[in-house]
Amino acid sequence: MRTFTADTANPAAICDEMLNGPGAVRITGLFSDAQIADARARIMAHSDGEGEKVTHFQGAAVEDGRANLQRRVWNLLAKGAVFSDMATHPVIMAVLRRWLGSEFIMGSIAANRLLPGGPGQEPHIDFPYWDFHAPETHPMGLNASFPMNAQVTVALDPFTEESGATAFLPGSQKDMRYPTAEDHDHFYANCARMTGAPGDTVIFFGAAWHCAMPNGADHDRNAVLINYIPKFVKPLEDMPGALPQAFLDAASPEMRQLLGFDYKYPEILDQADAVNAEGIT
């Protein structure tokens, strides 16, 4: 996995790595130690003090009673300004404008806390592809020739092989399909790991097969997980509906874009202004 810094993060080079290369890149130096500590403290507080939340790709953990060792914190924008700062970081925004178009939006921003002894996930692909294990529910000919997803992972603890750093199969984003149970042995035998220090950021194409691995370390493994999608894809989280009005009123232009305010559809066209609303003339 190629590593960039905040100064060398060239959007064209990063997008080529995600589409035509292994599928993921690492960027260092985007966030300060204070931002990482703030984000981690907030996630720990919310995941200690709240009940279990919906999670995904954890069927085996549910069956053996260990699902509580991987804890989700949703709706992070409402839980501290640091998460808005992460979501709108200028380097990330520049990469994603090239990757998803200038009016891309955010599908979700959440945290994943993997406690010591926490199990891994099943290998999977991410929203909006994540239910492609039922391909008949998706359009025919769906492929990875143009992306409809970008995933950003901001490490808040050491991401090591021991602590369960995310595994991914380099190049698998080129083959648009959900990994089957028969693929798992090949995945684990050939996967790479998204290792990094606290503050390191991984951007990857969520069509790449990947999964959290078991945490065998003596410390938690926390991360902020941000899903970005094109403007026309329905988001995973209803973020405007979950956020207080004061947040929405004070949102920056970048945040308004990410929340979908710049894209007016769906619209009640019977009530729309009587103008020629689309076209080049």
Fold classification of 2-271 (topology level): Jelly Rolls (2.60.120)
- In the chain, where are the structural domains located? 2-271
Residue-wise pLDDT for 220-270, tens only, equals 999 999 999 999 999 999 999 999 999 999 999 999 999 999 998 898 888
Helix (H) or strand (E) holding 41: helix 33-49
- How much is the pLDDT for 137? 95
Given pLDDT bands bounded at 50, 70 and 90, which one contains residue 60? low
Provide the sign of the torsion angle of the four alpha carbons 174, 179, 180, 186, taken in this order. positive
Token digits of residue 126:
């991410």
pLDDT of residue 57 exceeding 60, the answer is: yes
How far CA 238 is from CA of 43, 128, 193, 206, in Å, comes to 20, 14, 31, 20
Classified as helix, coil or strand, 122 is coil
Counting beta carbons within 10 angstroms of the beta carbon of residue 171, is it exposed (0 to 12), middle (13 to 18) or buried (19 or more)?
Answer: middle
Q: For residue 189, what are its two tokens? A: 């035998």
Report whether pLDDT(58) > 70.
no
Q: Do 123 and 210 form a contact (C-beta atoms < 8 A)?
A: yes
Give CA–CA dist 140/128, Å, rounded: 15
The per-residue pLDDT for 68 is 77
Q: pLDDT tens across 110-157, in order?
A: 999 999 999 889 999 999 999 999 999 999 999 999 999 999 999 999
Ranges of H-type helices in 64-107: 81-87, 90-100
Residues contacting 4, CB < 8 A, separation 6+: 10, 13, 14, 25, 26, 27, 28
What is residue 59's predicted lDDT score, i.e. its pLDDT? 52
pLDDT at 69: 82
Residue 64 has pLDDT above 70, yes or no: no
- Condensed to tens digits (0 to 9), the pLDDT of residues 172-192 reads 999 999 999 999 999 999 999
How is the beta sheet containing 192-193 ordered, strand by strand? Answer: 192-193, 167-168, 210-211
Q: What is the mean pLDDT of residues 203-212?
A: 97
For residue range 14-45, what is the model confidence (pLDDT) as tens digits?
Answer: 999 999 999 999 999 999 999 999 999 999 99
The whole-number pLDDT of residue 61 equals 56
Residues in the chain: 281
* Residue 150 main-chain phi, psi, to 5 deg: -140, 140
Computed over every residue of the chain, the mean pLDDT equals 93
Partner residues linked to 223 by β-bridges: 112, 155
* DSSP H stretches of helix in 129-198: 184-190
